[in-house]
């Protein structure tokens, strides 16, 4: 009776620095084969262990700007230290048309750009348990200067002010629980009436007539309780 939409859903996951959103997304995709992650383009340098076409598409600033001119991005932004990040338009559209739900792991600026174009986008914000924990995680990396850490904190506090623009917020104090909460959010969104394409309700009189004429009921007298 219910016909669901053929296209997949667009899901945005954002979060403050060191909130663990990347790990959450990775676990979600591992557990749910119908979830796909859109691979972003970036003009920053590749870090140790990162793989081209899996973590990001790495391009130069000039190549990125050329793609901007060509209208190749759903959204893009120049973030810390003047580096570009952008979401490829064609890849996302193709996956949605194939019926996959697509996750975009992007910042708050990009999230609002997408939401304006696709109002039904599901926005989820992942938070660390506290800013003290964020500080601990950054220092544990041991890769950034004091100035870079301070800059990350400034950005993080600004991002926290954007939480009211999201549909959901999840505190990541336990990875398995966080993943389960996000899965529950996505499942509940699938059940929303405004995400159903059509409800095919048959004519009431025809349905009752066919029900009564069904051979399975021919020899069964109808009992009427007094």
Q: Give the pLDDT score at 194.
A: 76
More confident call, 132 vs 213: 132
Q: Give the pLDDT score at 48.
A: 84
Q: Give the pLDDT score at 150.
A: 82
More confident call, 170 vs 80: 170
- pLDDT(40) > 70: yes
Burial class (CB in 10 A: 0-12, 13-18, 19+), 153: middle
Which architecture characterizes domain 2-38+102-217 according to CATH?
3-Layer(aba) Sandwich (3.40)
- Determine the average pLDDT of the residues in 28-52: 92
Best mean pLDDT range from 2-16, 50-64, 77-91, 207-221 = 50-64
Residue ranges per domain, the chain? Answer: 2-38+102-217
- pLDDT(108) > 60: yes
Radius of gyration of the chain (CA): 24
- Determine the average pLDDT of the residues in 172-192: 94
Which tens digit of pLDDT belongs to each residue from 17-32?
Answer: 889 999 999 999 999 9
Could you write out the DSSP letters of every residue in 83-98?
-EEEEEHHHHHHHHHT
């Amino acid at each position: 009776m219910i016909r669901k939409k053929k296209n997949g859903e667009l899901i945005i996951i954002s979060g403050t620095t060191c909130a663990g959103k990347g790990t959450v997304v990775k676990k979600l995709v591992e557990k749910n084969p119908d979830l796909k992650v859109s691979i972003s383009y970036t003009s920053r340098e590749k870090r140790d262990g990162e793989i081209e076409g899996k973590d990001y598409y790495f391009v130069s600033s000039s190549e990125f700007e050329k793609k901007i001119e060509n209208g190749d991005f759903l959204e893009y932004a120049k973030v810390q230290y003047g580096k570009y990040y952008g979401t490829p338009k064609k890849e996302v559209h193709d996956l949605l048309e194939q019926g996959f739900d697509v996750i975009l792991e992007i910042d708050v600026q990009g999230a609002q750009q997408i939401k304006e174009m696709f109002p039904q986008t599901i926005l989820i914000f992942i938070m660390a348990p506290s800013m003290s924990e964020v500080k601990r995680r950054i220092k544990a990396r041991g890769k950034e200067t004091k100035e870079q850490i301070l800059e990350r904190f400034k950005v993080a506090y600004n991002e926290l002010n954007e939480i009211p623009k999201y549909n959901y917020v999840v505190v990541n104090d336990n990875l398995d629980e966080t993943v389960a909460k996000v899965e529950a959010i996505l499942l509940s969104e699938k059940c929303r009436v405004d995400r159903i394409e059509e409800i095919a309700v048959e004519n009431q009189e025809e349905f009752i007539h066919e029900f009564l004429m069904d051979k399975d009921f021919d020899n069964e007298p109808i009992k009427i309780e007094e």
